[in-house]
């Protein structure tokens, strides 16, 4: 309990610092969003009026407080391009990004884990090399190029999916999920390979432990050793890279949503940057970072539940 509270405080501090960094970055060019709103040939009086209206005449610490107070009330500012609250835009696009990311995450775990376990099981030198080469290829192909390859194969050659297959969820759950399948796969492959590599080395490390030799000498079957003993211990360190995988998935979703023109957070952010809609960019950046911090926190807690050594005493084993 003490551990969870301590971690919660740390996560709160991290979110505070992240918000500070994002705020400060967007202060470097303070007048810009206002100016782009009035246009180039603005008269100074109007500009000054807007400055006061948006509180830009106040000192930076005060502006930060105003901004962060708004954030706590769910007010992330107003998008210049859409002239609507950023939070409303985020909520509108969130379901698509959530669906895409969760689908990718399910694929990563469903294929990455078994692949890594199988590779550790059949680990002889030559196979190790083949496995390494293939997983490195998986991590090296950029997601947007993979998306093109998948489209060429599954949509053009085989005709299993529509070429630009995004369907809104109102048109039915199955077509919606089917439309997300190829984008999710494009996002997932790199992290799938990463997870498989981690799993393999983690399982191999456990297999070299003394307790495995003892079990083997006692006559426990290879299968029982692997699934009954080794896997349980091997999965604990794998938990730590889950956070990195989710961050990768979110980054991948930003690119792939633009590539497949899926109306999600990533394409919203992309459009915001292209149109210099800075309040929108600021709001989305803060939102995504907060999600990542929250997730890192949850994983820390999960880790301490799975491995009781962590969190015992002061900070656990490391």
Q: Which residues bind other proteins (CB under 8 A)?
A: 13-14, 17-18, 21-22, 25-26, 28-29, 129, 132-133, 136-137, 139-145, 148-149, 151-152, 156, 163, 247-248, 250-251, 254-255, 258-259, 269-270, 272-274, 276, 278, 281, 285, 288-289, 292-293, 296
- 30 touches 56 (CB < 8 A): yes
Q: Which of 134, 107, 106 is nearest to 119 (CA)?
A: 134
In the complex, minimum distance from the CB of residue 133 to other proteins, in angstroms, rounded to a whole number = 8
Cα 132 from Cα 114, distance rounded (Å): 15
In the complex, minimum distance from the CB of residue 274 to other proteins, in angstroms, rounded to a whole number = 7
Considering the complex, state which of residue 139 and residue 233 has its C-beta at the smaller distance from other proteins: 139
Cα 54 from Cα 37, distance rounded (Å): 12
Q: How far is CA 255 from CA 45, 149, 155, in A?
A: 41, 15, 20
Considering the complex, state which of residue 1 and residue 28 has its C-beta at the smaller distance from other proteins: 28
In the complex, minimum distance from the CB of residue 298 to other proteins, in angstroms, rounded to a whole number = 13
In the complex, minimum distance from the CB of residue 180 to other proteins, in angstroms, rounded to a whole number = 19
Q: Which of 189, 110, 176 is nearest to 145 (CA)?
A: 189
In the complex, minimum distance from the CB of residue 44 to other proteins, in angstroms, rounded to a whole number = 24
- 210 touches 126 (CB < 8 A): no
Considering the complex, state which of residue 18 and residue 301 has its C-beta at the smaller distance from other proteins: 18
In the complex, minimum distance from the CB of residue 139 to other proteins, in angstroms, rounded to a whole number = 6
The strand pairing partners of 85, in sequence order, are: 78
Considering the complex, state which of residue 226 and residue 284 has its C-beta at the smaller distance from other proteins: 284
Considering the complex, state which of residue 115 and residue 245 has its C-beta at the smaller distance from other proteins: 245
Considering the complex, state which of residue 184 and residue 193 has its C-beta at the smaller distance from other proteins: 193
- 280 touches 26 (CB < 8 A): no
Q: Is 232 exposed, middle or buried (0-12, 13-18, 19+ CB in 10 A)?
A: exposed
In the complex, minimum distance from the CB of residue 179 to other proteins, in angstroms, rounded to a whole number = 18
Considering the complex, state which of residue 49 and residue 60 has its C-beta at the smaller distance from other proteins: 60
Cα 166 from Cα 263, distance rounded (Å): 9
- 282 touches 267 (CB < 8 A): no
In the complex, minimum distance from the CB of residue 16 to other proteins, in angstroms, rounded to a whole number = 9
Per-position b or e across 82-118, b if 16+ CB within 10 A of its CB: beebbbebbeebeebbebbbebbbebbbebbbebbbb
Q: Collect all residues with Cβ–Cβ distance below 8 Å to 185 and sequence separation of at least 6.
A: 104, 107, 146, 150
Considering the complex, state which of residue 117 and residue 250 has its C-beta at the smaller distance from other proteins: 250
């Amino acid at each position: 309990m003490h551990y969870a509270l301590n971690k919660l405080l740390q996560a709160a501090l991290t979110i505070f610092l992240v918000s500070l960094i994002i705020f400060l970055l967007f202060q470097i060019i303070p007048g810009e969003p206002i100016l782009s709103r009035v246009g180039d040939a603005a008269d100074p009086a109007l500009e000054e009026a807007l400055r006061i209206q948006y509180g830009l005449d106040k000192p930076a610490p005060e502006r930060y407080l105003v901004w962060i107070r708004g954030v706590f009330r769910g007010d992330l500012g107003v998008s210049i391009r859409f002239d609507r609250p950023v939070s409303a835009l985020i909520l509108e696009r969130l379901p698509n990004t959530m669906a895409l990311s969760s689908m990718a995450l399910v694929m990563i775990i469903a294929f990455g884990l078994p692949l890594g376990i199988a590779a550790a099981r059949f680990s002889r030198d030559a196979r190790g090399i083949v496995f390494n080469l293939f997983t490195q290829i998986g991590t090296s192909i950029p997601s947007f190029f993979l998306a093109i390859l998948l489209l060429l194969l599954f949509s053009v050659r085989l005709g299993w999916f529509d070429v630009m297959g995004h369907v809104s969820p109102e048109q039915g759950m199955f077509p919606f999920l089917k439309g997300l399948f190829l984008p999710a796969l494009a996002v997932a492959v790199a992290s799938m390979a990463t997870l498989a590599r981690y799993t393999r080395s983690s399982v191999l490390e456990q297999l070299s432990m003394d307790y495995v030799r003892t079990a083997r000498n006692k006559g426990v079957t290879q299968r029982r050793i692997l699934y009954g003993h080794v896997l349980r211990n091997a999965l604990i360190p794998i938990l730590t890279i889950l956070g990195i995988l989710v961050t990768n998935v979110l980054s991948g979703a930003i690119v792939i949503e633009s590539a497949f023109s899926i109306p999600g957070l990533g394409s919203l952010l992309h459009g915001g940057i292209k149109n210099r809609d800075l309040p929108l960019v600021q709001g989305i950046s803060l939102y995504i970072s907060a999600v990542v911090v929250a997730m890192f926190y949850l994983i820390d807690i999960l880790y301490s539940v799975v491995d009781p050594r962590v969190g015992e005493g002061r900070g656990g084993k490391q």
